[in-house]
């Protein structure tokens, strides 16, 4: 047992569409860091980032965690300052390792990783490059393509191409290269926000306009009818891949409502696929992490067509959902790494990546 516990800063919430999920993920992480051996190893300080990007100290963060709901302006103790980061609340400068539990823009995308890097304080998860490339679907796909990873055919689109003078040519190009159905996605969102399935020229144009309202960078992909498999990756110097999980749902595709409504989807762990498919997915998951420079933790998602045995990589999430019902911790639990060990190993990995000597790194 260490002589004095390590000071860990858990930061959650965030100016992102996934703010509410982040609170549930943080509750799971904080619970696991306060249990068993972790209670002696770590002294936690929690920090809450509200939807406007303002940072709040532990007293507010703990209240948000215990309520499990985002704070509204009326709940916050001081008059709200201007939006955005305006300096750390009390206690943050004593943090020895940061644990960001933030999903989506302004947290999973390299921004907060840049802040911690500039401060010279270790943090859990990918660095600036891996986070930024993993977040932006255009950059992610280019990195995957360069690494030779199998992906469904796709076209990158700029919102400016929707201008009257070019929109018809754009639609012609998409229809010719991808056909229907196809999926339109903003490059930088998550949780299926802004994604739509297009089945004809009119729904393609509507989908492009909807996505362009959220992001100037878009991706359009050929639609496939396939099972959805996920693999969790963990490690700093060496990366390990978990057993696979499958997301099952009745809906046509895994949209926002299906993702977040109780009972509309369920997970099967381990996924019922041939061993050879699971092994291939695990190898591809690690290649995908290397391709975008992701480390620490990541969840890599696949499409699997049973009939043809095709396996396509869909995306990487560098700060995947971490609620008690989330795939990432469940995949590790099924792979022999219980939650308490998982969060400990993530902190060990953060320190190792920063070049710190971690005494029990090999035997967590
Ligand atoms: N090319 C595709 N073919 C079939 N379904 C797709 C395709 N792309 C996305 N989907 C569906 O949309 C969901 C969300 O897409 P995804 O790229 O994973 O976005 P997000 O980053 O928001 O999770 C997928 O889980 C899947 O159900
Ligand atoms: Mg997804």
Q: Which of 197, 222, 247 is the last residue of a domain?
A: 222
Q: How many domains does the chain have?
A: 3
Q: Which two tokens stand for residue 62?
A: 């703990």
Same domain, 161 and 71: no
Residue with tokens 């696949």: 302
Q: What DSSP element (H or E) covers 16?
A: none
Query: Which 8-state DSSP code applies to residue 74?
Result: G
283 domain residue, yes or no: yes
pLDDT recorded at residue 358 = 83
348 domain residue, yes or no: no
Distance in angstroms (rounded) separating the CA atoms of residues 1 and 41: 7
pLDDT tens for each residue of the chain, 364 residues long: 556 899 999 999 999 989 999 999 999 999 999 999 999 999 999 999 999 999 999 999 999 999 999 998 888 888 778 999 999 999 999 999 999 999 999 999 999 999 999 999 999 999 999 999 999 999 999 999 999 999 999 999 999 999 999 999 999 999 999 999 999 999 998 778 899 999 999 999 999 999 999 999 999 999 999 999 999 999 998 999 999 999 999 999 999 889 888 899 999 999 999 999 999 999 999 999 999 999 999 999 999 999 999 999 999 999 999 999 899 999 999 999 999 999 999 999 999 998 888 866 544 4
Same domain, 215 and 252: no
Give me the CATH number covering residue 63: 3.40.50.20
Same domain, 63 and 120: yes
Same domain, 16 and 67: yes
310 domain residue, yes or no: yes
Domain ranges, residue 184: 154-222
Q: Give me the sign of the Cα torsion angle 104, 68, 43, 332.
A: negative
249 Cα–ligand 1 center, Å: 13
Give me the CATH number covering residue 144: 3.30.470.20
pLDDT recorded at residue 113 = 98
pLDDT recorded at residue 248 = 97
pLDDT recorded at residue 364 = 42
pLDDT recorded at residue 2 = 53
pLDDT recorded at residue 361 = 55
User: What is the SS3 assignment for 306?
Assistant: coil
Same domain, 194 and 230: no
65 domain residue, yes or no: yes
1 domain residue, yes or no: no
What count of residues does the chain have?
364
Q: Which two tokens stand for residue 341?
A: 């060990």
89 domain residue, yes or no: yes
Give me the CATH number covering residue 211: 3.30.1490.20
Buried b / exposed e over 153-170, threshold 16 CB at 10 Å, is: ebeebebebbeeeeeeeb
**What residues pair up with 158 in beta bridges, in sequence order?**
217
Q: Give me the sign of the Cα torsion angle 238, 309, 218, 14.
A: negative
Same domain, 143 and 255: yes
Same domain, 46 and 80: yes
Q: Which of 193, 222, 251 is the last residue of a domain?
A: 222
330 domain residue, yes or no: no
Q: Name every protein residue with a CB atom under 6 angstroms from any ligand 1 atom.
A: 152, 183, 185, 189-192, 195, 221-224, 228, 253-254, 301, 314-315
Protein residue with its CA nearest to atom 25 in ligand 1? 254
Same domain, 53 and 88: yes
207 Cα–ligand 1 center, Å: 14
Q: Which of 222, 247, 279 is the last residue of a domain?
A: 222
43 Cα–ligand 1 center, Å: 39
324 domain residue, yes or no: no
Which ligand 1 atom minimizes the distance to the CA of 190? 22
Protein residue with its CA nearest to atom 3 in ligand 1? 223
Same domain, 93 and 160: no
Same domain, 56 and 204: no
Which ligand 1 atom minimizes the distance to the CA of 301? 18
**Beta strands per DSSP E along the chain:** 6-13, 42-49, 55-56, 97-101, 154-158, 182-186, 196-198, 217-222, 227-235, 240-249, 265-268, 296-305, 310-317
Same domain, 199 and 268: no
pLDDT recorded at residue 80 = 78
Cα angle 162, 168, 169; round to 5: 95
Same domain, 145 and 294: yes
């Amino acid at each position: 047992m260490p002589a004095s516990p390590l000071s860990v800063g858990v930061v959650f919430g965030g100016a992102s569409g996934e703010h509410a999920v982040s609170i549930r993920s943080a509750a799971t992480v904080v619970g696991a860091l306060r249990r068993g051996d972790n209670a002696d190893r770590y002294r936690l300080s929690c920090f809450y980032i509200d939807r406007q990007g303002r940072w709040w100290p532990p007293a507010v963060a703990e209240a948000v965690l215990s309520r499990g709901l985002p704070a509204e302006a009326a709940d916050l103790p001081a008059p709200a300052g201007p939006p955005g980061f305006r300096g750390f609340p009390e206690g943050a400068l004593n943090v020895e390792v940061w644990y960001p539990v933030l999903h989506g823009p302004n947290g999973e995308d390299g921004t907060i990783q840049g802040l911690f890097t500039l401060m010279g304080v270790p943090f859990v998860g990918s660095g600036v490059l891996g986070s930024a490339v993993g977040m932006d679907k255009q950059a992610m796909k280019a990195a995957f393509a360069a690494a030779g990873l199998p992906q469904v055919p796709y076209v990158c689109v700029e919102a400016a191409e929707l201008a009257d003078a070019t929109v018809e040519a754009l639609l012609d190009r998409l229809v010719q290269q991808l056909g229907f159905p196809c999926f339109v996605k903003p490059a930088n969102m998550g949780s299926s926000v802004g994604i739509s399935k297009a089945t004809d020229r009119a729904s393609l144009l509507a989908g492009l306009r909807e996505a362009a309202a959220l992001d100037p960078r878009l991706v359009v992909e050929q639609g496939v009818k396939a099972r959805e498999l996920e693999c969790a990756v963990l490690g700093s110097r060496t990366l390990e891949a978990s057993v696979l999980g499958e997301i099952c749902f009745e809906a046509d595709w895994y949209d926002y409502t299906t993702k977040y409504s109780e009972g509309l989807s369920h997970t099967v762990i381990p996924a019922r696929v041939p061993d050879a498919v699971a092994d291939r997915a695990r190898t591809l998951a690690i290649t995908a992490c290397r391709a975008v420079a992701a480390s620490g933790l990541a969840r890599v998602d696949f499409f699997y067509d049973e009939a043809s045995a095709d396996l396509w990589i869909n995306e990487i999430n560098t700060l995947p959902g971490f609620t008690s019902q989330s795939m990432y911790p469940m995949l590790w639990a099924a792979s022999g790494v219980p939650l308490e060990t998982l969060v400990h190993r993530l902190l060990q990995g953060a320190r190792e990546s920063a070049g710190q000597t971690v005494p029990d790194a090999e035997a967590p």
